[in-house]
Structure 1
Amino acid sequence: MRKTSGTQNSMKLIFIASCLVLLTAALIFDFIWASSSFTYLSLVSNWSVHKAVRRIIPKTEEKIEIVKYNNRLARDELNATFADIPAPQLEWEEMPSAPVPRLDGAAIQIKNLLYVFAGYGSINHVHSHVDIYNFTDNTWSGSFPIPKEMANSHLGMASDGRYIYAVTGQYGPQCRGPTARCFVLDTETKQWQDLPTLPAPRYAPATQLWRGRLHVMGGSKENRYDPGLEHWSLAVKDGKALEKEWRSEIPIPRGGPHRSCVVVDDRLFVIGGQEGDFMAKPGSPIFKCSRRHEVQYGDVYMLDDEMKWKTLPPMPKPNSHIEFAWVVVNNSIIIVGGTTLKHPVTKKMVLVGEVFRFRLDKMEWSVIGRMPCRVKTTLVGFWDGWLYFTSGQRDRGPDDPSPRQVIGNMWRTKLKF
């Protein structure tokens, strides 16, 4: 028994001595490493793509950068096209949220009422009704259905102050096909009527009333991806079509969906947009959306008396998903949010958080403020000095501009210029 006990004691002493040797070696190695002029701090514990990685740059550069690992780069490593543009932080006030969240919906303001149409609730669910927001008492004050045959998203839409014209768009959830059906709503009676069917269906075409005609331009073609250049118009008055067929007009210089289309002082402006879009996955029974290459742009075109497209100064950054994100205030076009070129590293969609102003007297762009968060497909209105926006899809947070949840929030800020 004594011999066995002595052997065990000897083994313990050897084990302790080995540990001391290893500990001493580790301390020496750590001292040498810390003394080096090139030091890198590794990843913090509990690794996650939502954690930050601190990278210490060589001491000779005399600076320390924080590099975000979760799909973003340090500010000085990110091209200005994708980064936020410096802008004042406007004072936003949160108002009553919409009855439902919506993405790729449509909106038209008539006096103190904002009519908000259809849109996605989620990728698998689309809305088939209209909600009304009253700017006078800041309440959601009514709801009624859209026609069963009417598109649920990617609509073209315009108004004469009483009648709202709704043309073409996507029928159903996911990436289902478009419809060429067109309708008109009498906002006083809440009654819908048919309009002549568009020559071909389109997704999110630029649409506006100009000189007694309803103009529909660009958009995506039937496959949801190829940009259309076609431009059609239809004579309308008091909610009725004066012609049985659409007329071909001068093609738009650049096709594609998700653009602002504005008429001011008898001039028609088409702003921003993109080429390419999500497409239905081949063979999918539910038309499941599949990502494809997209290119956003900031091009601005104008039609006037000469009926020729003129190129104007582009937006401060490429911007898309802004078809109902605009208002006209003090001889300026105001555009809120959108999407810009994808992130150069992660290839994810980048949302826009700036408020842009286009001065019509000088034909100049500026950035007049920042939104409470980045949002695409905002639905915008203006009343009594207040700029409002609701709905869309917001970002993942201040440091992550990629899209996350579909929202119904309503915000407003007082415009001062």
Structure 2
Amino acid sequence: MVRPSGSGKLGSAKLVLVCVGLLGFALVADFLWASSSRFASSFSSSIPSDWASSHDSSQNTLIFPRKDEPKDSSKLGAAVVKSKDAGSGRVLSATFADLPAPGLNWEKMAAAPVPRLDGAAIQIKNLLYVFAGYGTIDSVHSHVDIYNFIDNTWGGRFDMPKKMAHSHLGMATDGRYIYIVSGQYGPQCRGPTASTFVLDTETKQWRDLPPLPVPRYAPATQLWRGRLHVMGGSKENRHTPALEHWSLAVKDGEALEKEWRTEIPIPRGGPHRACSVVEDRLYVFGGQEGDFMAKPGSPIFKCSRRNEVVYGDVYMLDDEMKWKELPPLPKPDSHIEFAWVVVNNSIVIVGGTTDKHPVTKKMVLNGEVFQFNLDTLKWSVIGKLPYRVKTTLVGYWNGWLYFTSGQRDKGPDDPAPKKVLGDVWRTKLKLSL
């Protein structure tokens, strides 16, 4: 009979130990991976809102450029940083969203009497009427300031009606009367109002108009073919996109009807869009779906972050009364409802917000000036702003493009929002046809 040798037993024991060791290593690695994932998720969810405090010192986050970005990162107009894995050769842009754009010579003018965010503005001849807006997240303005493009001065302040909204307004003019529609009443993320008013800019007198069927935040608003059109915006919870489209017959500052008429719904809902009428065509540019909401149970309606989708869609209404989709903006753009002017059959749009940072999920501001040529239906990036900024209030006079107010970025290498401003800037604008 042959007995088993001692070396066979030793080999089996070693094999068992190796298997146990490998199993233990796998369990430890899995635990560490799960822990890091939970940490990353916790960090992301702790990112503050775009109302950053003055001591916020957020750092640039390394991200991969999108496929449609230039390979030469210097063309992005942003600082470039390298990942820790130097051997990988990856170069990552700190401000991924900037587009290549020519420089413009900007001149700083007399600042507005107060800083404004989510305010409104209408230009009539050489005067820019600037309405309402946040001063801070806890305070709002309830008056009108006037900027005179001839002598570049501010003056003529007067109060708004007490029941008029303070931000997220819809607004349009016929050259004398300014029609003001709906909006948010109060600071933080308070509720909307359905109230509608008209201002006679010659007499500074206000009148009431029939209220909207339901309140809206930041609806696209424009006068077209004798009717005041109100489209989209956000519903009463401030977040859900609205598709409704209403119109009201108006003339010389008075409503010719007692109720709003239902029109063809807009293809995509949401607030913070530019809206213009050129050569009897109605255009709507950009916008977003979703917005901040009031925190449930908060006595001050404290703003609470929600998911938002910014888009660059462009739509048009003409004689057929059917929405037609046109070429989209060079990149998604929102917070531009008063950030546009019509120059030489082109729409010029100044600043705004775009897709959120893919890692930190913070809001990213735009620092470009876009031109949409209505003859060719082509977009161009025609210049850079002094800084990235949203909710600009824009005017054009005697060859000069002006913008004022809004919320600017944290610096050249950080496109997140920070300070609310009242600055006024202008640049000589030359458009290629």
Flag whether TM exceeds 0.5 (same fold): yes
**8 Å contact kept, 1:151–1:179:** yes
* Corresponding residue of 2:137: 123
Would the alpha carbon gap of residues 79 and 362 (structure 1) be closer, same or farther in structure 2, given more than 3 Å must change? Answer: farther
* Corresponding residue of 1:13: none
Would the alpha carbon gap of residues 267 and 253 (structure 1) be closer, same or farther in structure 2, given more than 3 Å must change? Answer: same
| TM-superposed deviation, 1:200 | 0.5
1:397 is aligned to 2:411 = yes
1:321 is aligned to 2:325 = no
Please say which structure displays the higher CA radius of gyration. 1
Runs of 4+ in structure 1 deviating by more than 4 angstroms, as ranges, are 48-54
Please, what TM-score do these two structures have when normalized by structure 2?
A: 0.80
Secondary structure of 2:312's aligned partner: coil
Q: Distance in 2 between matches of 1:176 and 1:50?
A: 28
Q: Distance in 2 between matches of 1:166 and 1:341?
A: 29
Residue 391 of structure 2 aligns with an amino acid whose one-letter code is: T
* Corresponding residue of 1:304: 318
1:353 is aligned to 2:367 = yes
Q: Distance in 2 between matches of 1:406 and 1:291?
A: 19
| TM-superposed deviation, 1:77 | 3.1
Question: Which residue of the other structure, out of 227, 241, 250, is the alignment partner of 1:236?
Answer: 250
| TM-superposed deviation, 1:106 | 0.3
Q: Distance in 2 between matches of 1:75 and 1:99?
A: 47
Gaps of at least 5 residues in structure 2 are 1-55, 63-79
Would the alpha carbon gap of residues 79 and 401 (structure 1) be closer, same or farther in structure 2, given more than 3 Å must change? Answer: closer
User: Across the two proteins, how many residue pairs are aligned to each other?
Assistant: 355
Q: Distance in 1 between matches of 2:310 and 2:135?
A: 24
Q: Distance in 2 between matches of 1:147 and 1:120?
A: 16
Aligned pairs for 1:281-292 within 5 A: 281-292=295-306
Q: Distance in 2 between matches of 1:66 and 1:181?
A: 50
* Corresponding residue of 2:220: 206
* Corresponding residue of 1:188: 202
Q: Distance in 1 between matches of 2:126 and 2:268?
A: 34
Residue 349 of structure 1 aligns with an amino acid whose one-letter code is: M
Question: Which residue of the other structure, out of 348, 352, 370, is the alignment partner of 1:334?
Answer: 348
| TM-superposed deviation, 1:367 | 0.2
Aligned pairs for 1:133-172 within 5 A: 133-172=147-186
| TM-superposed deviation, 1:75 | 10
Please, what TM-score do these two structures have when normalized by structure 1?
A: 0.83
| TM-superposed deviation, 1:154 | 0.1
Secondary structure of 1:90's aligned partner: coil
Q: Distance in 2 between matches of 1:78 and 1:172?
A: 39
Give the fraction of aligned pairs with identical amino acids, expressed as a percent: 78
**8 Å contact kept, 2:130–2:144:** yes
* Corresponding residue of 2:13: none
| TM-superposed deviation, 1:142 | 1.3
**8 Å contact kept, 2:182–2:193:** yes
* Corresponding residue of 2:121: 107
Q: Distance in 2 between matches of 1:75 and 1:180?
A: 52
1:168-199 per-residue CA deviation (whole Å, 9 max, x = no partner) reads: 00000000000000000000000000000100
**8 Å contact kept, 2:393–2:404:** yes
| TM-superposed deviation, 1:66 | 2.4
1:266-301 per-residue CA deviation (whole Å, 9 max, x = no partner) reads: 000000000000000000000000000000000000
Would the alpha carbon gap of residues 400 and 52 (structure 1) be closer, same or farther in structure 2, given more than 3 Å must change? Answer: closer
* Corresponding residue of 1:21: none
**8 Å contact kept, 1:215–1:231:** yes
Question: Which residue of the other structure, out of 387, 397, 409, is the alignment partner of 1:373?
Answer: 387
Residue 170 of structure 1 aligns with an amino acid whose one-letter code is: Q
* Corresponding residue of 1:178: 192
* Corresponding residue of 1:257: 271
* Corresponding residue of 2:399: 385
* Corresponding residue of 2:376: 362
Would the alpha carbon gap of residues 405 and 197 (structure 1) be closer, same or farther in structure 2, given more than 3 Å must change? Answer: same
Residue 258 of structure 2 aligns with an amino acid whose one-letter code is: K
Residue 294 of structure 1 aligns with an amino acid whose one-letter code is: E
Q: Distance in 2 between matches of 1:66 and 1:159?
A: 47
Question: Which residue of the other structure, out of 106, 125, 135, is the alignment partner of 1:92?
Answer: 106
Secondary structure of 1:328's aligned partner: strand
| TM-superposed deviation, 1:68 | 9.0
1:55-102 per-residue CA deviation (whole Å, 9 max, x = no partner) reads: xxxxxxxxxx62499xxxx9953599x520000110000000000000
Q: Distance in 2 between matches of 1:145 and 1:283?
A: 32
Residue 359 of structure 1 aligns with an amino acid whose one-letter code is: N
Q: Distance in 2 between matches of 1:53 and 1:254?
A: 32
* Corresponding residue of 2:260: 246
1:77 is aligned to 2:92 = yes
* Corresponding residue of 1:66: 81
* Corresponding residue of 1:16: none
1:274 is aligned to 2:297 = no
* Backbone CA RMSD of aligned residues: 1.9
| TM-superposed deviation, 1:416 | 1.2
| TM-superposed deviation, 1:167 | 0.4
Would the alpha carbon gap of residues 78 and 306 (structure 1) be closer, same or farther in structure 2, given more than 3 Å must change? Answer: farther
Q: Distance in 2 between matches of 1:263 and 1:285?
A: 41
Q: Distance in 2 between matches of 1:51 and 1:218?
A: 36
Residue 304 of structure 1 aligns with an amino acid whose one-letter code is: D
Q: Distance in 1 between matches of 2:93 and 2:285?
A: 25
1:202-226 per-residue CA deviation (whole Å, 9 max, x = no partner) reads: 0000000000000000000000000
| TM-superposed deviation, 1:141 | 1.9
Residue 157 of structure 1 aligns with an amino acid whose one-letter code is: M
| TM-superposed deviation, 1:49 | 5.5
Question: Which residue of the other structure, out of 225, 230, 233, is the alignment partner of 1:216?
Answer: 230
Q: Distance in 1 between matches of 2:402 and 2:81?
A: 35
Residue 66 of structure 1 aligns with an amino acid whose one-letter code is: V
1:85-139 per-residue CA deviation (whole Å, 9 max, x = no partner) reads: 0001100000000000000000000000000000000000000000000000000
**8 Å contact kept, 2:82–2:92:** no
